[in-house]
Amino acid sequence: MNDSSADITLLLQRWQGGDKGAEGDLMQAIYPLLHRLAGQRLRRGAAITLQATELVNEAYVKLLDQRRTSFNDRHHFLAIAAHVMRRIVIDHFRERDAQKRGGDVVVISLDDVDTSAQPLGGTIDLVELDRLLTALERVDARCVQVLELRYFAGLSIPDTALALGQSESTIKRDWQFARTWLHAQLRSTP
C-alpha cells in the first residue's frame, strides 16, 4: 500500500469514527481520484452526456450516506464507489432513454480495460450490460464485483485482488469468466 492509500485508509477510519475534520480532508484526498476514474469511464462511451464532475459529485453524496458502511481501506472504498458509479451511470441512461423513447443507444467496450484479456467482441449497450450483470450476479456475484472494479473504477488486477481480498490468479479467472459469460450471453441474444 502506498502513502496515498494509507492516508485515504486513515481518513476513512477517522471519518467513520466521527472526526468532523476528516470529511473535508477525505474529500480532498479522494475527489481527484474519483474524478480521474469517472473521466476514464465516461470517455469510453460515444454518446455519453453525463460529465465526470456530475458523476463524481453524485457518487460522493451517495458515498457520504454510506457512513455506517465499514470501509476497510482505500480499495474497499473504491469497490463501493465503483458500484455506486455503475448505478448512477445506468440510472442516467435509463432516464435519458425514457425521455427520448428509444433514442440513441449508448454502447461501451470492455476491450480497452485489459488489452491482455480475450476481447469481449466489440461494444455493448450500457443498459443491456446492467441487465446482464444482474443476471451474472445470480451465477457468480464476485465476478460482477471484479467487472465493476475493473471497468467502473478502473482498478488493475492487483488492486482488484486487494479490494476483494483474493489472489491475483483468482481475479484473473473471475475477470476472464465474466467476459466470456457476457460474450456468450450477447451471442445468444437476438
Rounded Cα–Cα distance for residues 143 and 123 (Å): 19
Rounded Cα–Cα distance for residues 77 and 164 (Å): 11
C-alpha cell at 58: 453524485
Q: Which domain holds residue 169?
A: 3-188
Asked which of 89-98, 101-110, 150-159 is least confident by mean pLDDT, the reply is 101-110
Per-residue pLDDT of 52-61, as tens digits, reads 788 888 888 8
E strands in the chain: 107-109, 123-125
- Average pLDDT value for residue range 176-181: 91
Confidence class of residue 83 from pLDDT cuts 50, 70 and 90?
confident
Per-residue pLDDT of 2-50, as tens digits, reads 446 668 888 888 888 888 888 888 888 888 878 877 776 666 554 556 7
Q: Mind giving me the DSSP string for 66-126?
A: TTTS---SHHHHHHHHHHHHHHHHHHHHHHHHHHHTS-PPPEEESTTT-TTSPP--SEEEH
Place of cell 479522494: 30
The number of folded domains in the chain is 1
**Cα dihedral 158, 161, 166, 168 in deg (nearest 10):** -30
In three-state secondary structure terms, 49 is coil
Bridge partners of residue 125, in order along the sequence: 107
- Report the pLDDT value the prediction gives residue 164, as an integer from 0 to 100: 87
Per-residue pLDDT of 117-144, as tens digits, reads 433 444 566 777 788 888 999 999 999 9
Rounded Cα–Cα distance for residues 94 and 170 (Å): 33
Torsion 100-112-30-143 (CA) sign: positive
Helix H or strand E encompassing 15: helix 3-16
